[in-house]
Structure 1
Amino acid sequence: METLLFYLFSVVAVGSAILLVSMKNIVRALFLFFVVLFSVAGLYVFALADFVAITQILVYVGGVLVLMLFAFMLSNKELLNQLQNGTSHFFALPVWQALFIAVSFLAVLVYTMVQATAYEPEWITASRDAGAIIRPTDNTVQHLGVHLMTHYLLPFEVVSVLLMMALIGAAHLTRKEDRI
């Protein structure tokens, strides 16, 4: 069952991402982005990174995607028409350039994967020998929550105030006023 769910999340994430970049309708693309982010959060759960999965949902889905929807709703209609009518191809690049970029990224990923499996860093082997391996029964969220609300409370609050200021600034810039 776990393998089936993993492949389901993977197919949904990759398929939605491919549809996302090929969409001309911005609203549908934003909702496909929503599906991609949730699928990636599901993949994080399978990687035993439960805190990252929850953060993915709270920060990206709850914050960034909603901000993008607000930016879309507050944007100028003529600008959106120009953006949607700008390209008539699958990508704005010619096909051979897009294919070259995709193959280059694939080559870098394969090279990195081969190097990582061939030459394992010392800190990984040392932690494996010491028995410091994350197991599915470990509760990492509790430890991260305690550190976030005790040792790192000030940086956490500073980041939240900066994000709120950015949101207020974006809303102020998009506000339409009568110019005198």
Structure 2
Amino acid sequence: MELIIFYIFAFIVLTSAILVVSLKNTARSLFLFFVVLFAMAGLFIFAFADFIAITQILVYVGGVLILMIFAFMLSNKQLLEDLQNTSKKFLSLPNWQSLLVAIGFLVVMSYGIFEWQEHTPRWITENIHKGAVIGPSDNNIEELGIKFMTKYLLPFEVISLFLLAALIGAAHLSRKEDHS
């Protein structure tokens, strides 16, 4: 049953992400981005990263995505009309280069998957032999909290500055400018 649910979440992530980048309607793309973030949180739960899943929902869905929605709603209507009238096709590639990049990424990812199935990296086998593998009953939230406030304090604060920049950017986009 867990495998079926995992594949359902993976299918939702992939199809929604493809639609996010291919739809020309910004409102629908933002809604599908919302779906992608929630489904990714579900995949994080399957990877025993419950803290990351909760953080995904709180920070990205609760913070950044809401700022993007407000910036969209309060932005210039002429800009929105231009975005929606650019193309009437469901899936459209702006340039043939994007197709080549996508195929390149597919080749690299496929090569990586086949290599890992043939030869497991040394650091994975060493951790398996040491018993340093996260299990379903392990609680890693306390250890993550200690690491955030000691070893990773600077990156943690840098992320808070990025969120502040997103808030300032949303406020700037929503400000009405007088062109007279």
TM-score bracket for the superposition, by shorter chain length? 0.7 to 0.9
Contact residue 93 and residue 99 of structure 2 kept, 8 A: no
For 2:49, the equivalent position in structure 1 comes to 49
Contact 1:91–1:98, Cα closer than 8 Å, also in 2: no
Secondary structure class of the residue paired with 2:160: helix
Unaligned runs of 5+ in 1: none
The structure showing larger relative contact order (alpha-carbon pairs under 8 Å, at least 6 residues apart) is 2
List gaps (5 residues or longer) in structure 2.
none
CA distance in 1, matches of 2:146, 2:134: 18
Aligned to 1:80: 80
Deviation at 1:154, TM superposition (A): 5.5
Secondary structure of 1:93's aligned partner:
coil
Match of 1:108 in 2: 108
Cα distance change of structure 1 residues 43 and 173 upon mapping to structure 2, 3 Å threshold: closer
TM-score normalized with structure 1 length: 0.83
Shift of 1:76: 0.6
Question: Is the 1:37–1:56 contact (alpha carbons within 8 Å) kept by the matching residues of 2?
Answer: yes
Q: Number of matched residues?
A: 179
Contact 1:9 1:42 (C-alpha < 8 Å) held by counterparts: yes
Percent identity, aligned pairs only, is 57
Which amino acid is the alignment partner of residue 28 of structure 2? R
The CA RMSD measured in Å over matched residues stands at: 2.5
2:28 maps to which residue?
Answer: 28
Map of 2:7 onto structure 1: 7
SS at match of 1:34: helix
Within the alignment, does 1:134 sit opposite 2:128 as a pair? no
Per the normalisation by structure 2, the TM-score is: 0.83
